[in-house]
């Protein structure tokens, strides 16, 4: 059999890297639960008609099909979910009678998207989502809250500085309406491409696709250029001379988000009028987050408010949510060596073997340590002690335990210190009990 080749866009982590990912996920889980979010896990597949409701995604959906299935078989019309928002909307509709509203949930699961693989963009990737949905009406204060939850969840992780850029779709659409542009949804999608294609190309598209005049296109670009870490953006928008009720509503809602964030998480949230989010179901505040030094990755945490994504015809369940691209953040940092773990295994103590006849005794000693929460394994062979220590050192295991007639001794293989211990009382230093995340100096 020939040596297998890696599949582009499907990252697989090494043991040390996987430890980092697990600890980041555990940290996010704890942070979300501290804010009262309940955990959900939804199925990997959704009906295609549901997956295609979210905008320009038809070319990215992986279709599910058994190798020898009939075209009309039971699997036809299903695809792998490319995010966690569409599955969540479906879940709410199916279980509305069993849920208490407002309902707060978090999900941390893989997603699949058939896009061109590049750094930070993968075909299989992990996302961590939070959403708050309500029945009928969703108060605007939740648009403030989700941003603060993400700020809290990210602040204690060993990651580069994050900045969340926020805008409000009502603000942008109201501005376009005030200018006289009729197809505001298409205008939003075009403005969303500003960072990718530049102002000249955006102007050209606005003129060709939404029949904007050059003057109207220039006004759209002036709005998109406004950014502020405080509510001063309100006056800057007013200075452009456009009036519209929807614009004023969006300005008020966005100012509330920026003002609250400045008090609780200074420097984390910035108002940015060029943020549009090209997906057409967003209706209020929209969010995009960049990581300092890794701006080429694009947004690593995105989302927004949606009022009509979940509706059964009788009831509507508006919501607001944000999605952290766990893989988008971690894989580039791990591959560059910017993040690592102190060891590649959970093991804190290796029980050495003088000979194979002592394996049963060694297993008993290891179990006594495990009962007290100390990750322990027994040496795989009764090789020379030097080789057993080398085995531990190669994996980053900090301690080796020796047991003989003279008692039980523990050796810190980093310092070389070896002391006699009471195995039922000894504890490793707290920082050695489990592997931890370290950053490159």
Distance, CA of 315 to CA of 429 (rounded, Å): 56
Residue 64 structure tokens: 């599910």
CB 272 within 8 A of CB 263: no
CB 365 within 8 A of CB 374: no
CB 104 within 8 A of CB 130: yes
Distance, CA of 285 to CA of 283 (rounded, Å): 7
Q: Which residues are 7's β-sheet partners? A: none
CB 247 within 8 A of CB 174: yes
Q: Which of 173, 180, 116, 127 is nearest to 150 (CA)?
A: 127
Three-class SS state of 130: strand
Residue 406 structure tokens: 């003279």
Instruction: Please indicate if the annotation marks 359 as binding a ligand.
Output: no
Distance, CA of 84 to CA of 323 (rounded, Å): 8
Between the alpha carbon of residue 179 and those of residues 182, 183, 194, 219, 271, the distances in Å are 9, 11, 19, 8, 21
Instruction: Please indicate if the annotation marks 83 as binding a ligand.
Output: yes
Instruction: Please indicate if the annotation marks 183 as binding a ligand.
Output: no
Phi, psi values for residue 310, rounded to 5°: -110, 105
Q: Which runs of E-coded beta strand occur in 93-183?
A: 103-112, 124-133, 162-168
Instruction: Please indicate if the annotation marks 123 as binding a ligand.
Output: no
Distance, CA of 168 to CA of 161 (rounded, Å): 23
Distance, CA of 384 to CA of 153 (rounded, Å): 47
Instruction: Please indicate if the annotation marks 131 as binding a ligand.
Output: yes
Q: What are the b/e assignments for 139-171, b being 16+ CB within 10 Å?
A: ebebbbbbbbbbbbbbeebebeebbbbbbbbbb
Instruction: Please indicate if the annotation marks 90 as binding a ligand.
Output: no
Q: Residue 196, exposed/middle/buried by CB under 10 A (0-12, 13-18, 19+)? A: exposed
Instruction: Please indicate if the annotation marks 185 as binding a ligand.
Output: no
Three-class SS state of 173: helix
Indicate the annotated binding residues: 83-85, 113, 127, 131, 277, 281-282
Indicate the annotated binding residues for L-histidine: 83-85, 113, 127, 131, 277, 281-282
């Amino acid at each position: 059999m020939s040596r297998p080749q890696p599949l582009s866009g499907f990252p697989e982590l090494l043991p040390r890297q996987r430890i980092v990912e697990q600890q980041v996920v555990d940290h996010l889980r704890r942070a979300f639960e501290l804010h009262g979010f309940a955990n959900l896990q939804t199925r990997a597949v959704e009906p295609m008609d549901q997956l295609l409701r979210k905008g320009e995604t038809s070319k990215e959906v992986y279709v599910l099909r058994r190798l020898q299935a009939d075209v009309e078989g039971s699997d036809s019309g299903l695809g792998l979910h490319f995010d966690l928002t569409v599955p969540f909307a479906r879940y709410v509709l199916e279980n509305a009678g069993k849920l208490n509203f407002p309902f707060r949930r978090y999900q941390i699961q893989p997603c699949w998207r058939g896009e061109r693989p590049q750094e930070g963009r993968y075909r299989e990737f992990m996302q961590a989502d939070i959403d708050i949905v309500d029945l009928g009406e969703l108060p605007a204060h939740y648009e403030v809250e989700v941003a603060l939850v993400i700020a809290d969840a990210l602040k204690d992780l060993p990651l580069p500085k994050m900045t969340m850029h926020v805008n409000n779709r009502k603000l942008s659409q109201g501005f376009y309406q005030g200018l006289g542009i009729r197809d505001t949804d298409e205008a939003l999608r075009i403005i969303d491409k500003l960072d990718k294609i530049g102002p000249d190309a955006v102007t050209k598209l606005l003129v060709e696709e939404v029949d904007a005049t050059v003057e109207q296109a220039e006004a759209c670009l002036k709005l998109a250029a406004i950014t502020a870490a405080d509510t001063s953006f309100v006056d800057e928008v007013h200075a452009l001379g456009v009036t519209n009720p929807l614009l004023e509503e969006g300005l008020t809602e966005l100012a509330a988000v920026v003002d609250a964030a400045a008090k609780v998480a200074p420097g984390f949230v910035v108002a940015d009028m060029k943020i549009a989010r090209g997906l057409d179901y967003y209706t209020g505040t929209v969010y995009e987050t960049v990581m300092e030094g890794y701006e080429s990755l694009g947004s690593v945490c995105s989302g927004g408010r949606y009022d009509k994504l979940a509706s059964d015809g009788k009831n509507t369940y508006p919501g607001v949510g944000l999605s952290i691209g766990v893989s988008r953040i971690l894989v580039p940092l791990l591959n560059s060596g910017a993040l690592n773990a102190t060891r590649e295994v959970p093991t804190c103590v290796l029980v050495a073997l003088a000979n194979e006849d002592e394996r049963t005794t060694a297993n008993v000693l290891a179990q006594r340590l495990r009962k007290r929460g100390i990750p322990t394994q027994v040496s795989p062979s009764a090789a020379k002690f030097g080789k057993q220590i080398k085995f531990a050192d190669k994996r980053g295991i900090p301690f080796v335990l020796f047991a003989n007639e003279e008692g039980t001794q523990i050796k810190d293989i980093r310092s070389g210190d070896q002391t006699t211990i009471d195995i039922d009382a000894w504890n490793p230093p707290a920082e050695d009990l489990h592997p931890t995340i370290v950053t490159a100096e």
